[in-house]
């Protein structure tokens, strides 16, 4: 979105020059970066807004383009009622914004360039593999990554230790280089940001020898990363401010860590719930039993009621996955697997056959050929 300079200063469009000045002083004081609670980005915005609104020529230009812009960007609201105004035909809001930017850089000279040189550092992304247990309990990992960081010798100032700060010899402290061209319409002036001081108007007399005055340096940095309990495979953790630094070591980007979780042999995760199988014998399932179940935190005794069918799901509430940063947990769902014995002792077999007779069930279907022959005599 294009910036609304009136909004930034918190004044109405009809504000007088005096009101604008007062609002600017208040905001500039509030956001001054040297102050605790200051905000460099906001401070720059406020200054930018004041630069325009305090200059009657620039203000007139801005008001005109501003109105124009609003009519266009507001197409979502006014378009359908305006009749035949196809907002999308202009390539969307981005297109409009881009056009406005061009107009502004023509008027004020080099504003775009200056902004991009002082931009925020890039975000970094890296993968990390952790164990299933670690994903359940949370873990702190120490990682080392090589990135563009603030120069540790000059702390981003670009000045050699103890170096004097002098007025930029190239732009004589103006921060801008004005070029005058002769054209058939007369002399045309254009301004661009001074490349020696990046618009500061000041340079150190001796640049920092470690970073050659850039204020930034590529070097390895070791940081601790806290992975919260409950993180799922494929989720990302943002480490604020641990991306690469921007202009002169300021405005760092963020570091994003994509977490891979090694699957568990015991548990299957489904959202915030965990699934696990508990094997019981057919006798235990018939008569009921208590089994010891290992959850991710502890060992619990779980009651399997008499007559439990294979595939029955027993729920242990709140014993599942911790919901990240909430204190809540999902459930642990236990699926009962009933084990049928594959080999029986002679005595076991007799007892079960006795049971079959009691129930009047026909058995002996799996007798061997010879046993069948024997029985038929």
Between 198 and 242, CB nearer to Zn ion: 198
Closest CA to 245 of 155, 147, 145, 116: 147
CA distances from 272 to 135, 226, 318, 330 (A): 12, 20, 10, 5
Between 138 and 201, CB nearer to Zn ion: 201
Structure tokens at 332: 């642990």
Contact present, 273 and 154 (Cβ < 8 Å): no
CB atoms within 10 A of CB 360: 6
Q: State which of residues 46, 73, 211, 296 lies at the interface with Zn ion (CB under 5 A).
A: 211
Instruction: Return the residues of window 315-334 that contact Zn ion according to CB under 5 A.
Output: none
Q: How far is the CB of 143 from Zn ion (least distance, A)?
A: 25
Between 107 and 153, CB nearer to Zn ion: 153
Structure tokens at 171: 């732009």
Q: Judged by CB under 5 A, does residue 210 bind Zn ion?
A: yes
Between 179 and 326, CB nearer to Zn ion: 179
Q: Judged by CB under 5 A, does residue 216 bind Zn ion?
A: no
Residue 255 backbone class (left: φ over 0; alpha: ψ -120 to 50; beta: rest): beta
CB atoms within 10 A of CB 329: 21
Q: How does strand 273-281 pair with strand 268-270?
A: antiparallel
Per-residue string for binding with Zn ion, 337-366, x by CB under 5 A? Answer: ------------------------------
Between 215 and 253, CB nearer to Zn ion: 215
Instruction: Return the residues of window 52-111 that contact Zn ion according to CB under 5 A.
Output: none
How many whole angstroms separate alpha carbon 223 and alpha carbon 155? 18
Q: How far is the CB of 196 from Zn ion (least distance, A)?
A: 5
Per-residue string for binding with Zn ion, 154-173, x by CB under 5 A? Answer: x-------------x-xx--
Between 212 and 325, CB nearer to Zn ion: 212
Long-range contacts of 189-196 (CB under 8 A, 24+ apart): 190/109, 191/108, 191/109, 191/110, 192/109, 192/110, 192/113, 193/110, 193/113, 193/114, 193/117, 194/168, 194/170, 195/170, 196/168, 196/169, 196/170, 196/171
Looking at the chain, how many residues does it have? 377
DSSP secondary structure code for residue 61 in this structure: H
Instruction: Return the residues of window 125-154 that contact Zn ion according to CB under 5 A.
Output: 151, 153-154
Closest CA to 165 of 206, 196, 118: 206
Between 171 and 245, CB nearer to Zn ion: 171
Question: Which region, judged by CB under 5 A, interacts with Zn ion, from 43-51, 210-218, 234-242, 258-266?
Answer: 210-218
Q: How far is the CB of 52 from Zn ion (least distance, A)?
A: 22
Q: How far is the CB of 217 from Zn ion (least distance, A)?
A: 7
Instruction: Return the residues of window 179-208 that contact Zn ion according to CB under 5 A.
Output: 194, 196-197, 208
Q: How far is the CB of 276 from Zn ion (least distance, A)?
A: 56
- Cite the beta strand spans of the chain per DSSP E: 124-130, 139-150, 165-167, 176-183, 186-193, 202-204, 216-227, 236-239, 255-261, 268-270, 273-281, 289-294, 299-304, 313-316, 332-339
Instruction: Return the residues of window 217-276 that contact Zn ion according to CB under 5 A.
Output: none
Q: How far is the CB of 118 from Zn ion (least distance, A)?
A: 14
Q: Judged by CB under 5 A, does residue 8 bind Zn ion?
A: no
Binding footprint of Zn ion, residue count (CB under 5 A): 12
Residue 156 backbone class (left: φ over 0; alpha: ψ -120 to 50; beta: rest): left
Q: How far is the CB of 161 from Zn ion (least distance, A)?
A: 9
Between 78 and 214, CB nearer to Zn ion: 214
Q: How far is the CB of 81 from Zn ion (least distance, A)?
A: 51
Q: How far is the CB of 86 from Zn ion (least distance, A)?
A: 46
How many whole angstroms separate alpha carbon 262 and alpha carbon 17? 64
Q: How far is the CB of 201 from Zn ion (least distance, A)?
A: 6
Between 233 and 250, CB nearer to Zn ion: 250
Between 136 and 197, CB nearer to Zn ion: 197
Q: Which residues contribute to the site for Zn ion (CB under 5 A)?
A: 151, 153-154, 168, 170-171, 194, 196-197, 208, 210-211
């Amino acid at each position: 979105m294009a910036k609304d300079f009136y909004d930034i200063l918190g004044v109405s469009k009809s504000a007088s020059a005096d009101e604008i000045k007062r609002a600017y002083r208040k905001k500039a004081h509030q956001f001054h970066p040297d102050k605790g609670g200051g905000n460099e980005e906001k401070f720059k915005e406020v200054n930018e807004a004041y630069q325009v609104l305090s200059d009657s020529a620039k203000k007139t230009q801005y008001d005109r383009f501003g109105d124009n812009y609003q009519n266009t960007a507001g197409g979502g609201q006014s378009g359908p009622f305006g009749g035949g105004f196809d907002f999308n035909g202009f390539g969307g809001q981005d297109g409009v914004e881009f056009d406005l930017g061009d107009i502004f850089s023509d008027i004020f000279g080099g504003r775009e360039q200056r902004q991009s040189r002082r931009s925020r550092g890039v975000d970094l992304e890296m993968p990390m593999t952790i164990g299933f247990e670690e994903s359940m309990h949370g873990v702190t990992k120490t990682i080392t990554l090589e990135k563009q960081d603030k120069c540790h010798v000059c702390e981003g100032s670009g000045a050699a230790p103890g170096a004097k700060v002098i007025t930029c010899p190239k732009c004589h402290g103006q921060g801008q280089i004005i070029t005058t061209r002769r054209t058939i319409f007369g002399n045309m002036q254009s301004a661009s940001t001074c490349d020696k001081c990046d618009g500061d108007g000041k340079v150190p007399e001796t640049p920092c020898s470690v970073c050659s005055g850039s204020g930034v340096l590529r070097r390895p940095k070791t940081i601790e990363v806290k992975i919260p309990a409950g993180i799922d495979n494929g989720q990302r953790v943002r480490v604020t401010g641990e991306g690469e630094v921007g202009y002169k070591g300021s405005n760092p980007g963020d570091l994003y860590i994509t977490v891979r979780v090694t699957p568990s042999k015991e548990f299957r995760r489904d959202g915030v719930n965990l699934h696990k199988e508990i094997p019981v014998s057919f006798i235990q399932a018939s008569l009921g039993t208590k089994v010891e179940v290992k959850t991710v935190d502890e060992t619990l005794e779980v009651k399997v009621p008499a007559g439990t069918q294979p595939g029955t799901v027993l729920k242990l509430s709140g014993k599942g996955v911790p919901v990240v940063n909430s204190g809540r947990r999902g459930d642990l769902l236990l699926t009962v697997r009933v084990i049928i014995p594959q080999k029986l002792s002679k005595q076991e077999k007799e007892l079960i056959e006795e049971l079959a007779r009691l129930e009047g069930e026909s058995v002996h279907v799996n007798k061997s050929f010879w046993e069948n022959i024997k029985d038929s005599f």
